[in-house]
Structure 1
Amino acid sequence: MANTRITPAIFLTLMISYLCPKTSSLTPEQEKQTLLQIKNFWGNPASLQSWEDNNNNNNNSSKTAHCHWFGITCSSHSFITNISLPSQNINGPIPDSLCNLTNLTHIDLYYNYISGQFPPSLYNCSNLQYLELGQNLLVGTIPSDINHISSSLVYLSLQSNNFTGDIPPSIGQLPNIQSLFLNDNLFNGSFPAELGQLSSLQTLCLAYNPFTPATIPQELCKLKNLRFLWMAMTNLIGEIPDSFSNLLYLKQLDLSMNKLTGPIPAGIWMLPNLQILNLYANHLDGEINGTIGALNLLEIDISTNHLSGAIAEGFGKLKNLQALAMYNNNFSSEIPASIGLLPSLINIRLFNNRLTGVLPPELGKHSKLWNFDVSDNRISGELPVGLCTGGVLTSLVASDNNLTGRLPESLCACPRLDNIQVYNNSLTGDIPAGMWLAVNLTTVMMNDNQLSGTMPEEVPWNISRLQIANNRFFGTIPSKAGNLQVFEAANNQFSGEIPRNLGSFSRLQLLSLSGNQISGEIPRSISALRFLNTLNLSHNQLSGEIPPEIRSLQALTTLDISVNRLTGEIPPAIAELKLTFLNLSSNQLSGEVPAALQNSAYNQSFLANPGLCSLSPILNLGACGHKSDGRDHTSVALILFIVLGILGLLSMALIAVMVVRNYKGKRDKLDLTKWKLTLFQSLDFNEHQILKSLTEANLIGSGGAGKVYKVVLGDHAGEIMAVKQIRSCRTLDSKLEKQFQTEVKILGTIRHANIVKLIACISNVDSKLLVYEYMENKSLDRWLHSKQRSESDEYVKLDWPTRLSIAIGAAKGLCYMHYGCKPPVVHRDVKSSNILLDKEFGAKIADFGLAKELVNAGEPEIVSAVAGSFGYIPPEYAYSRKVSEKVDVYSFGIVLLELTTGRKAHDGGDDGSLADWAWHHSDGKQLFEALDEDIRDPAYMQEIETVFKLGIMCTAALPSRRPTMKGVLQGLLQFDKMVAVCDQIQTNLSVQCESSK
């Protein structure tokens, strides 16, 4: 952990100003009155109730009573030196009178609702050494003359506000500054090379700001005293300077999530005090050569780059190393055996490389290994027997390799093992019987090996995912499985019947037993599987009829019972299911296919059933015969012919009218005299360029309100925008017109990095066009619920760090709307489809058609009608029509539950809403089962569970029990490791400042 040190010179200054303060221009009594004025200026907040002038006598104790007020510290001469009021719900700007307290050395207003711009009145605090204004609502730019603030300033924090523009070069003229926190703002200009002039600087935090792309200034390498450098997600480009090797005191270096290129400078690996190195998600390449001399390294994360070559032997000398993340690179050769001897290593993530050879045989024997992931490599040999020697192994992932041999018996004595994934290898032998006794085991993925043996009669209650397909297991399938959700056992040698009592499998969502030798009938108890969405029993020896109870499987979307010996008719109940895939082929079914299934969607679903027939030729089945009903079919045919002829003539007339109207519409569409353009952002385009691009070829979405087009201005590399066309008609629907006006009014006046930019609006009497910045990754719900595919057409999963970043970004946007806008804005339709994602998966709130400005912040207002989307509307809003900021908090809570569970907002099962469902799954093993399987990474499990619980808090039935968006954002930010480190640095420095007095 980085510690910020008070130098002897600064310590002496502190002591002199404490013991021998300058003469104040105010008496202690006057300073007390100043505090009362400040309290009144801030609206008499409840947290300052102790600030009361309740003594009218003139004795000395009454004159110094203010020194005992909450948050106030005085010198021995009763002059105020310290005002510390973090997290006290203080609203409003900083009063000019604050610096009338001329002996102030310490101001801490962290995590309040301080608004306005940076006040120049703070320059009058001439003795100020510590200024904490982080986590507030300050806006505008940092003043260009910031160097006029106290020359004694040691600590300055403006983090987590809404500052924009450049960081002024004059900030490099603060001679004694040691800690500078400017992270998590909206700086969209540059950061100055003059930062390199801060010779005393020990902590520099610039992370999470949308700076213009820039290289790392060489001047930063002059900061000889720098301990902590945090520049994650700051739009860095170019290479890491070789001169970073001069930062000999550097303990933590985080340049993650930028676009840095080139190799990692060799000098970084030689920094003697370096403890944490984070270069995750850049474009770094090359090999790691030379000596590894940074022997104090605790954590290394160089994952998701283009690094190659062998893993250096020097990593095996890092005796303090606890976490090694090198995944998503091109590393090759063997993992050095010496890594298995490291005594502190608990977290190894080397997946998705090109590693070969065998795993270090000593892995786990010398350290308490907790997480081990080497999947997607070319590793051969056997799994080390000592992986769980330390007794704390939680996750073992070694899938997609060339591993052979048996699973180690030692895994049976692994009490905390939760996740084992060894699929796509060449493992042999039985699964050790004792593994089924591991009480924490939830995920078993061993498919595509050569494993054999039988399964236990009862799958332990804790296992929720069991994938053993494409192996050599035999015997009967288990008869009980209380919490199993996924059971894939296809292509084995199982025999016997499907258990009669499927009630013990009631939580199953996927059941695949295809390619075995299972016989008997499909039991009627299949109706108990009400959560099942995929059922595959194909290529077995099943007989009897399809049970009509199958109608109970209302969640079923995939049904494959082909290549069996099933007989009888197809139950009409199958047509009641919402199936996207159906295969009943190669059985002995008979009778007519239910009418609802006689369509092209199922034209391959009934083949090789000689007894089946259909009235439709689409199904390629024999025609069903019908007896005559005595009617004159010739007359009916004639009448039908006449009717069809009349309809044909009417259709031709209608087409002619539409052609004329379409021609007129196109002519009017490009007639610029009929369109009005209003610009909200400076951009070089005109109406004609937009209008001519509104073609079907550019259509990317449509909904109830109209269509959305992707418009490219200029050549192929030109500006890309999204254009929403509100439904075109001669008289625009009044509701749509109101939504259009609301969106233009609100988005036309607010600016925030996490709110989608409205660039222009174009309108005429028939149509309204809204021109937005284009969001490459579209909406969040497409990634969570629609199997979003990448350009390579491969299913892409949102990992937890990305989901957390999206949640933080969306929370920042809502926080700005509630606290940074005057008057406050309530969105009223927060949902995953209204959270858009840019090419870096940065989140932005969109669609403000239902937004409402509040007259008084925090006070509910009654609206004429309830607005919003099913599943996201809080209960009090539905029945009382009262709208406040807590409406958005509830909706955002549902989004948090979607991010953590993967479920849709209305997917609450028997519990109704997702909020109620989550509440019933908020404890113990049910909580774990509730989480999305795509993100069950042990490395993040604690924070995923906490965010899940934060979602439950946000969806409390009573608005008063929900946190504010400010509180929600603060709760999410705590999970950013580097934010936590910054907070710890601040805590350490505060303690040191107090102890130095």
Structure 2
Amino acid sequence: MVMERTAQSVSRFFSLRKKKQKEKKKQKDWAFPEELCRRFTLAEISAATQCFDQTLRIDTGDFSTAYKGRIKVHGDEDGKDVAIKRLSKAGMGAFRAEVQLLCQLRHPNLISLIGFCQENGECIIVYDYVPNGTLSDYLFDPSNIKNKDPFPLTWKQRLKICIGAARAIHYLHAGIKHAVIHRNVKCSNVLLDQNLVPKLSGFALSKMGPPVLSNVLINDPVYAMSRQLTEKFDVFSFGMVLLEVLCAKSVSREILECGERGETFPAMIDPFLMGKVAPDCLKKFMNIAVRCQRWTGAERPTMGEVQVELECALELQESADAVKQLKELGTGASTSLAPLPAHDMEDYTYENLSFSEINETFCNRYLRESFSTDEAASVDSIASLDSTQGTLQIFLVSYIPLYVN
């Protein structure tokens, strides 16, 4: 009996020792170079957020809450403004993967990771603070914007934001050793800094290299045909972003409702933009959006091609604006005069522009079999899900194509 108890005690001793060794090894695996990713203590995070004061809350999702904070980084005595995302238990599954991924990524149009905290059951990620909110705020809910301009985003501002976002996604697909599929490209994940430079965020679903497929992705038309999830999934989602940028309407609700009422382009374009977009630029932009929505991945452009063509669209707009301004100022006017604001210039007309292709893609095709009220409600509920569970783009890829003949 004594020998049996002794054996049990020895077994427990070595079991506890082995467990502690595993924990130490796990902590060592989490070690990152200090210049890439810093581990903060919970005390530092608590001080930065004033114990997670609700007045500092900047965003609330189903699986996380984000706070604005101020924290010392790399010996900066004054500290810097940061965004601190505190994950709920349901959102902790993707925590480590997101931190490990973001610490390897550096691009001017990607959100910058500063560090993380994992202590006492808390999982927290610290990012650079981006002061102007999200692109979706500017397009769909300008009341959320504290310091918004008297006019909505101009067309050239929107184009530049789209170009920046395209550059970020192209970098993920082709600019690093192992391609990253973002899998959550949408307007609410495009943040805008003080100069309206876009910063792509929302990496909880992202995968580096061969992705592990989620059940919610099995109806992606690309995956259904090839049994492989590719970067063309992000291209499809980006096509939806382009549509929302042009219309200032959410795909999940407003654009579908417009289609149900029989509205088509150009009536669906944001009224603020009507007549401000040069015809050649609008034609190019619509062509890009349509091609991003092709049925198979092979038919869709790469994000590098999307970026180049959006840059071409911006050049077309700037050239058309310059020609039109010279005409309005008179042929003898000095070219050194300051450009007229876009809202003060005479409107462009679209009499010779065909909208049949974009109407077929975004209106007729998706509404060939209309959504019922219950189905529309399900779109809204899925659109509100956090990225760890599902996204609007995943839903659109897996659900809307089912209505295509």
CA positional deviation for 1:881: 6.7
On the 8 A contact 1:810/1:844 being kept in 2, the answer is yes
For residues 804-883 of structure 1, what are the structure 2 equivalents within 5 Å? Answer: 804-855=159-210, 863-866=213-216, 874-877=220-223, 882-883=228-229
1:949 to 287, 290, 295: 287
Count of aligned positions = 282
Structure 2 counterpart of 1:757, from 112, 120, 133: 112
C-alpha deviation, 1:700, in angstroms: 1.1
- The answer to whether the aligner puts 1:896 opposite 2:225 as a matched pair is no
Partner of residue 707 from structure 1, selected from 60, 65, 82: 65
Residue 875 of structure 1, CA deviation: 4.0
Partner of 2:93: 738
CA contact under 8 A between 2:281 and 2:316: conserved in structure 1? no
The 1:979/1:742 distance shift into structure 2, 3 A limit, reads: farther
Q: From the superposition, tell whether residues 881 and 701 of structure 1 become closer, same or farther in structure 2 (CA, over 3 Å).
A: farther
Q: Is the 8 A contact 2:69 2:82 kept in 1?
A: yes
Structure 1 residue matching 2:267: 3-state secondary structure: helix
**One-letter code of the match for 1:942?**
D
- Matched with 2:80 is 719
Counting only pairs closer than 5 Å after superposition, residues 163-202 of structure 1 correspond to structure 2 as none
Verify the 8 A CA contact 1:809 1:843 in the aligned structure 2. Answer: yes
Letter in 1 for 2:108: A
How far 1:818 sits from its partner (Å)?
0.3
Report the residue type matching 1:866 in the other structure: V
**Aligned mate of 1:769, from 98, 105, 124:** 124
Tell me how far apart the structure 2 counterparts of residues 739 and 864 of structure 1 sit (CA, whole Å).
13
Report if aligned partners of 1:854, 1:884 keep a CA contact under 8 Å in 2.
no
The CA distance in 1 between the partners of 2:195 and 2:217, in whole Å, is 31
How far the C-alpha of 1:964 sits from its partner, in A, is 0.8
C-alpha deviation, 1:928, in angstroms:
2.1
Alpha-carbon offset, residue 713 of structure 1: 3.2
- Contact 2:65 2:85 survives alignment (8 Å): yes
Determine helix, strand or coil for the equivalent of 1:763. Answer: strand
User: How much has 1:677 moved relative to structure 2?
Assistant: 8.8
C-alpha offsets along residues 81-124 of structure 1, whole Å, 9 cap, x if unaligned? xxxxxxxxxxxxxxxxxxxxxxxxxxxxxxxxxxxxxxxxxxxx
Q: Deviation digits for residues 490-521 of structure 1, max 9, x if unmatched?
A: xxxxxxxxxxxxxxxxxxxxxxxxxxxxxxxx
1:978 and 1:956 map into 2 onto residues whose CA distance is: 24
Q: Measure, in 2, the Cα distance between the counterparts of 1:850 and 1:713.
A: 27
Q: 1:929 aligns with which of 261, 264, 267?
A: 267
Q: Residues 677 and 762 of structure 1 are in contact (CA less than 8 Å); yes or no, is this contact kept in structure 2?
A: no
CA distance in 1, matches of 2:217, 2:191: 20
Give CA-to-partner distance per residue, 1:514-550, whole Å, 9 cap, x none.
xxxxxxxxxxxxxxxxxxxxxxxxxxxxxxxxxxxxx
Give the partner amino acid of 1:887.
F
Match of 1:961 in 2: 299
Q: CA distance change for structure 1 residues 696 and 894 in 2, over 3 Å: closer, same or farther?
A: same
Q: Does the 8 Å contact 1:721/1:773 carry over to 2?
A: yes
Structure with the larger RCO, 1 or 2 (CA within 8 Å, 6+ apart): 2
CA contact 1:864–1:881 (8 Å) conserved in 2? no
How far does residue 950 in structure 1 lie from its aligned partner after superposition? 1.1
Distance 1:748 1:949 in 2: 36
Taking structure 1 as reference, are residues 813 and 793 closer, same or farther at Cα in structure 2, changes over 3 Å only? closer
The alignment partner of 1:953 has SS state of: helix
**How many angstroms apart in 2 are the aligned matches of 1:743 and 1:889?**
21
Q: Which has the higher helix share?
A: 2
User: For residues 775-821 of structure 1, what are the alpha-carbon distances to aligned partners after superposition, in whole Å with 9 as ceiling and x for unaligned?
Assistant: 11111111111124554677641111110010000000000000012
How many Å apart are 1:847 and its aligned residue?
1.3
**CA distance, structure 1, for counterparts of residue 278 and residue 77 of structure 2:** 41
C-alpha displacement of 1:874: 4.9
Compare CA radii of gyration and give the structure with the larger one. Answer: 1
CA change 1:764–1:956 in 2 (3 A) is same
SS in 1 for 2:290: helix
Q: Secondary structure at the match of 1:704?
A: coil
CA distance 1:939–1:979, change in 2 (3 Å): closer
Instruction: Report the alpha carbon displacement of residue 695 of structure 1 after superposing the two structures with TM.
Output: 1.8
Taking the aligned partners of 1:709 and 1:881, their CA distance within structure 2 comes to: 40
Code of the residue aligned with 2:134 in structure 1: it is: S
1:716 to partner: Cα distance: 12
Aligned to 1:670: none
* Aligned: 1:909 with 2:264: no
Distance 1:799 1:753 in 2: 22
User: Is contact 2:134–2:190 with CA below 8 Å preserved after alignment?
Assistant: yes
SS of the residue corresponding to residue 935 of structure 1 reads coil
Rounded to whole Å, the distance in 2 between the matches of 1:684 and 1:766 is: 15
Structure 2 contact 181–230 (Cα < 8 Å) conserved: yes
Task: Quote the RMSD (CA, aligned, Å).
Answer: 3.5
C-alpha deviation, 1:707, in angstroms: 0.6
Counterparts of 1:460-859 in structure 2, within 5 Å, are 679=34, 681=36, 688-692=43-47, 693=49, 694-713=52-71, 718-727=79-88, 732-733=89-90, 736-788=91-143, 790-791=145-146, 796-855=151-210
Shift of 1:977: 3.0
Give deviations 1:284-340, integer Å, cap 9, x for gaps: xxxxxxxxxxxxxxxxxxxxxxxxxxxxxxxxxxxxxxxxxxxxxxxxxxxxxxxxx
CA-to-aligned-CA distance 1:185-224 (integer Å, 9 cap, x gap): xxxxxxxxxxxxxxxxxxxxxxxxxxxxxxxxxxxxxxxx
Shift of 1:906: 1.6
Residues of 2 paired with 1:912 and 1:739: CA distance? 36
Corresponding residue to 2:315 among 965, 971, 977: 977
* TM-score under structure 1 length normalisation: 0.26
SS at match of 1:762: strand
Shift of residue 930, structure 1, vs aligned partner = 2.5
Distance (whole Å) between structure 1 residues aligned to residue 41 and residue 77 of structure 2: 18
Q: Given the superposition, is the C-alpha separation of residues 803 and 865 from structure 1 closer, same or farther in structure 2, using an over 3 Å criterion? A: same
Q: 2:152 & 2:233 partners in 1: Cα distance?
A: 30
In proportion to residue count, which structure has more strand? 1
Structure 1 CA distance for aligned equivalents of residues 258 and 220 of structure 2: 15
Q: 1:823 to 1:718 in 2, by over 3 A?
A: same
Runs of 5+ in structure 1 lacking a partner? 1-675, 856-860, 982-997
CA distance 1:814–1:759, change in 2 (3 Å): same
For 1:818, the aligned partner's letter is: H
Alignment of 1:246-285 (within 5 A): none
How many angstroms apart in 2 are the aligned matches of 1:902 and 1:826?
Answer: 26
For 1:897 and 1:884, locate their aligned partners in 2 and report how far apart those are by CA, in whole Å.
22
